[in-house]
Amino acid sequence: MNPKFYLLALLCLTPLVGLSGAEKPNLIFLFADDQSTDSMGCYGNPDVQTPHLDQLSADGVTFDRHYNTTSICMASRASVMTGMYEYKTGCNFSHGDLVASIWRKSYPVLLLEAGYTTAFAGKFGFELMEGPKGKKLPLPEKDFDRWGGSPGQSSYATKENKSMVGYAAEYPHSTLSYGAFGRDFVKGSAKSEKPFCLSISFKAPHKPATPDPKFDEVYKGKAFRKPENYGREHGEHFSKQSKQGRQYSRFHEWNYSDKFDEVMATYHQQIYAIDVAVGMIREALVESGEADNTVIIYSSDNGFFCGAHGYGSKVLPYEESARVPLIIFDPRHPNSGKKLRSGAVTGGIDFAPTMLKLAGVTVPENMDGVDLMKLYQEPEAAVRDSLLLINVWGNLPTQSLAVVTDELKYIYWGYAAGDFEVTEELFDLNKDPLELKNEAENPEYREALEAMRTAYDQHLQDWKMEAVAYNNYQIYGTLFDRKVSWPEKAALLGQPRRKK
């Protein structure tokens, strides 16, 4: 961004003394795809260039313990839109699509009904169906005033995204096309008396890696530091179950093991383009006079291992996969501009209720998330006792259920066929944020383990009571039950029993 716009932004973004009586804010929700927390300067990585995101962090509140309740794009995005855990959306790969009646209670629909001008651009990430056994429906283009969305994984080539072809000549790579879409929507909406909500879902930095060649020089020839828990030697203590999926094999298949610098240069180049797009949108806010009344939220649908513990990809409930960046900036708030950080446990299910509350819209009782602006007001506070981390996708052994608190993480791996055994993992995230030691068998953590088991059991009870009755979610109330034996579960699944 041009320095003169930063100066103007600082003048425009002076926090208001109070929020009572303020007009409804504009809302901008920016969402990356597969972006790890360790990919931004504001999260402590000195090897990367993310100036606009770092400025957003300095302007707002940065969250250090933010998780996706399901770390895979389809389920994560459905949970973000609806504010509900996956077992209540019923939406994930290999399970099924989102029922239209649930979509009608999503934040974009509710904000549209409340009088907001709404827009969406990028990877929509899931499909809709008429009912549990109904026909598939088209993407909800009509539920937005302006649409730049794409089905499936979308494309890095702007010309391949039907709703974005008008930007293809100037912005052939999709990342900057979304920045341009956001810029134009902001400037156009500023002419209206109605507040607006812009949601952009970048495809980057999702595989297959396809960076914008415009930024080839940014990381050319650069060497990147490896995570302190990089490599297979730092994953030997993880469950055998976690090593049965593609996350384990991709450490080699995606060249983290032998071409780390090259792979990370491409990865971070994609994020650099997102950073530029964020700058385009913020510049438009300043130019349009909307900067001082627009709340910006930036996050990602899931994290990425990038070689940590000798794994690649995502999905599993370990930190690099489940924890992601989150920055919120409310220019009206007196806490803005103080470079504040929050260590509270937050989740993707919190975005919908947060935006609805900001807009003065009643939050539906079905939403599981909470209002994150409580932490903007008081960053040292907490908003929940525990958060559920779900994985019911992929090979059956790798499916797991986990609970995370402000101090601990408990993971239950229930698959016990053949040579597998039921495995519990307990990590002290305060003392061991890199998850290098499983404390489940440590007598000193016996009381902590029992407390986490209790929290886990309560979440599972909620699952049993509230899970949708379709798309094969009820069965997990039994599969994840610690008190049900594997032979009983095996009979339910038609799986072999353990070898004697």
CA distances from 440 to 371, 411, 444, 452 (A): 33, 10, 9, 10
CATH number, position 137? 3.40.720.10
Same structural domain, 327 and 448:
no
Same structural domain, 283 and 370:
yes
Same structural domain, 414 and 376:
no
State the angle between helix axes of 260-288 and 51-59 in degrees (0 to 180), rounded to the nearest 10.
Answer: 60
C-alpha to C-alpha distance for 434 and 348, rounded to whole angstroms? 22
Last residue of a domain, one of 363, 384, 405: 384
What does the pLDDT read at residue 498?
61
Of the CA atoms within 13 Å of residue 314, those in its CB half-sphere come to: 31
Within-domain flag for 5: no
C-alpha to C-alpha distance for 92 and 217, rounded to whole angstroms? 38
Same structural domain, 354 and 399:
no
User: Which residue segment(s) compose the domain that 355 sits in?
Assistant: 24-384
What does the pLDDT read at residue 4?
38
Within-domain flag for 291: yes
**Total domain count, the chain:** 2
Same structural domain, 365 and 479:
no
Residue-wise pLDDT for 294-304, tens only, equals: 999 999 999 99
Same structural domain, 68 and 127:
yes
Same structural domain, 348 and 288:
yes
Same structural domain, 190 and 138:
yes
C-alpha to C-alpha distance for 17 and 53, rounded to whole angstroms? 25
Q: Which segments in the chain show pLDDT lower than 50?
A: 1-22
Within-domain flag for 12: no
What does the pLDDT read at residue 497?
63
Same structural domain, 441 and 374:
no
Within-domain flag for 14: no
Q: Which two tokens stand for residue 202?
A: 């970048």
Residue-wise pLDDT for 369-398, tens only, equals: 999 999 999 999 999 999 999 999 999 999
What's this model's pTM, rounded to 2 decimal places?
0.94
Residue 339 gets which letter from DSSP?
Answer: -
Last residue of a domain, one of 335, 358, 384: 384
The DSSP result for 106-164, as a single string, is: SHHHHHHHTT-EEEEEEE----EESSTTS-EE---GGGSSEEEEESTT--SBGGGSGGG
Within-domain flag for 422: yes
Within-domain flag for 19: no
CATH number, position 399? 3.30.1120.10
3-state helix, strand, coil in the chain (%, to 5): 35, 15, 45
Same structural domain, 380 and 437:
no
> Could you give the 3-state DSSP secondary structure of residue 340?
strand
What does the pLDDT read at residue 23?
85
Question: 237 phi and psi, to 5 degrees?
Answer: -85, -5
Same structural domain, 313 and 432:
no
Same structural domain, 437 and 337:
no
Within-domain flag for 351: yes
CA distances from 458 to 163, 374, 387, 461 (A): 44, 25, 11, 5
